[in-house]
Amino acid sequence: MKKIFTLRSFSLFIFSAIIIYSCSKGGSETPPDPCAGVTVAVTGTVTNPTTVGGSNGSIAVSASGGSGFTYNINGGAFQSATTFTGLAAGSYTVIAKNSSGCTGTSTFTVSNPPNPCSGVTITVTGTPTNPTTAGGTNGSIAASASGSTGFTFSINGGAFQASGNFTGLGAGAYTITAKDLNGCLGSANFTLTAPNPCSGVVITVTGTVTNPTTVGGNNGSIVASATGSTGFTYNINGGAFQASGTFNGLTAGAYTVSARDLNGCLGSANFTLTDPNPCAGVTITVNNSVVANTPCMPNNGMITATAAGGTGTFTYSLNGITFQASNVFSNLAPGPYTVTAKDGNNCVGSSMPAVVSNLPEGPLFSQVKAVLQTNCVPCHNNSQQEGGMNWTIDCNIVTFKDRVKARAVDASPSAMPPTGLLPSSERQKIVNWINAGGKFTD
């Protein structure tokens, strides 16, 4: 079977080849080609898209070389309608087929229209009006455009509208875009700023200070309030804000209370809390025991102070500046002194002036001084100091008492006065004084 089928197929092939060959030779014995001598020509009118990149282009076609045409485009289905719409820029091949199946082909080019915006510069200008209140939305931008015509306007990419006026705006950044009749665009940025809610707001903080009742105590307080706005909260020394303006538990010191209103506007005031005066009601008395200065000795006056009143340990000062622990001041020259005592709270009290005086000269010294005044001063004074001696100075008599005795009593190495020894009663006064000690106070 298989072999027979193969032979028969081969025979059909040979037969067909002969027929085809006969037709191509134009033999009358084969069916005529209906398209022979038929030329199908396709013509068309291209309508470009109205916008660059648009797809509303179209091609209206017609054909000749037969009748009953159908058309396809770019290999699509054949249709009887002669217009292809919805075309973007590009190359399109249209085939027209007549009722006999004969076809013709043309290629059409759909082009974008020239860009209407090239060379067009649209400038948007505008007048922004800021919101009048913080958080308000009564700001506006009145925009206009130049560089073309037929503008519509959009804000922040919204719908285009005929007016360039945009109202009801809060603070923020805005872009206004203008579009002309060809769809060409221009834009500008605007910023609306909310007013500073604190400008013109003066917040005044006042308060009542209650000082600690004890030195170092922490029961002081500040009761503060504010005016100039509303919705105040308060803080002290930069701490957390609280609703109340009362701050308790304060020690002595400097404090700043700030008030903040509902918009965050601030005002502040400084307050100082002071400890009670520890010296109020404290009286410190100082009594002095004075030892007088002895002449012709190094300054040896002395004051011993005794303080009473006050708290804690006293310190003492002769001049009120330098305080010492000791209540004894020695090596004092004659003169008035005021002793100040300071207690543990630095409360002070002062004495009445304590006068360090010179002790008076003694009776024996007075007698010797009188002897020398009469018998020696003529040759031993300020202007004439024989042998370097000046007996008008009391302390010279004390200092050089041995020389006085040697010359005036013992005539050693020679008598003074040079004219001869003094009467023995006078010399005895010198002896008595020296025997008693030879001091100013003897």
Nearer to ligand HEC, 99 or 399 (CB): 399
Nearer to ligand HEC, 194 or 421 (CB): 421
Min dist. Cβ of residue 390 to ligand HEC (A): 11
Which of 80, 199, 382, 414 touches ligand HEC (CB under 6 A)?
414
Distance CA 387, CA 382 (A): 13
Nearer to ligand HEC, 172 or 403 (CB): 403
Listed residue (294, 299, 434, 291) closest to 360, CA to CA: 294
Q: Does 417 bind ligand HEC (CB under 6 A)?
A: yes
- The reply to whether omega before 413 is within 30° of 0 (cis) is yes
Which of 382, 418, 420, 425 touches ligand HEC (CB under 6 A)?
418
Say which residues have a Cβ less than 8 Å from residue 102's Cβ, sequence separation at least 6: 34, 35, 38, 40, 65, 66
The answer to whether the beta carbons of residues 164 and 144 sit under 8 Å apart is yes
DSSP of 383-430: S-BGGG--TTSHHHHHHTHHHHHHHHTS--SS-SSTT-PPPHHHHHHH
The answer to whether the beta carbons of residues 288 and 303 sit under 8 Å apart is yes
Min dist. Cβ of residue 360 to ligand HEC (A): 23
Q: Does 28 bind ligand HEC (CB under 6 A)?
A: no
Nearer to ligand HEC, 143 or 416 (CB): 416
Angle at 158 between CA 153 and CA 160, to 5 degrees: 30
Q: Does 305 bind ligand HEC (CB under 6 A)?
A: no
DSSP of 258-318: EEE-TT--EEEEEEEE----TTTT---EEEEEEEPBPTTSS--EEEEEEEESSSS--EEES
The answer to whether the beta carbons of residues 204 and 189 sit under 8 Å apart is no
Strand, coil or helix: 330 = strand
Q: Does 376 bind ligand HEC (CB under 6 A)?
A: yes
Q: Does 375 bind ligand HEC (CB under 6 A)?
A: yes
Q: Is 127 exposed, middle or buried (0-12, 13-18, 19+ CB in 10 A)?
A: exposed
Min dist. Cβ of residue 386 to ligand HEC (A): 4
Distance CA 183, CA 117 (A): 8
Min dist. Cβ of residue 441 to ligand HEC (A): 21
Say which residues have a Cβ less than 8 Å from residue 223's Cβ, sequence separation at least 6: 207, 208, 210, 245, 246, 247
Q: Is 99 exposed, middle or buried (0-12, 13-18, 19+ CB in 10 A)?
A: exposed
Chain positions 334 to 373 lying near ligand HEC, rule: CB under 6 A, are 372
Q: Does 386 bind ligand HEC (CB under 6 A)?
A: yes
Which of 320, 378, 423, 437 touches ligand HEC (CB under 6 A)?
378
State which residue has the least CB distance to ligand HEC: 387
Q: Does 403 bind ligand HEC (CB under 6 A)?
A: yes
Nearer to ligand HEC, 260 or 405 (CB): 405
Q: Does 427 bind ligand HEC (CB under 6 A)?
A: no
Q: Does 416 bind ligand HEC (CB under 6 A)?
A: yes
Nearer to ligand HEC, 19 or 370 (CB): 370
Nearer to ligand HEC, 303 or 416 (CB): 416
Min dist. Cβ of residue 383 to ligand HEC (A): 13
Min dist. Cβ of residue 394 to ligand HEC (A): 14
Q: Does 387 bind ligand HEC (CB under 6 A)?
A: yes
Q: How many helices (DSSP H) and strands (DSSP E) are in the chain?
A: 5, 26
Which of 260, 342, 369, 407 touches ligand HEC (CB under 6 A)?
407
Min dist. Cβ of residue 437 to ligand HEC (A): 19
Min dist. Cβ of residue 301 to ligand HEC (A): 30
The contact set with ligand HEC (CB under 6 A) reads 372, 375-376, 378-380, 386-387, 389, 403-404, 407-408, 414, 416-418, 422
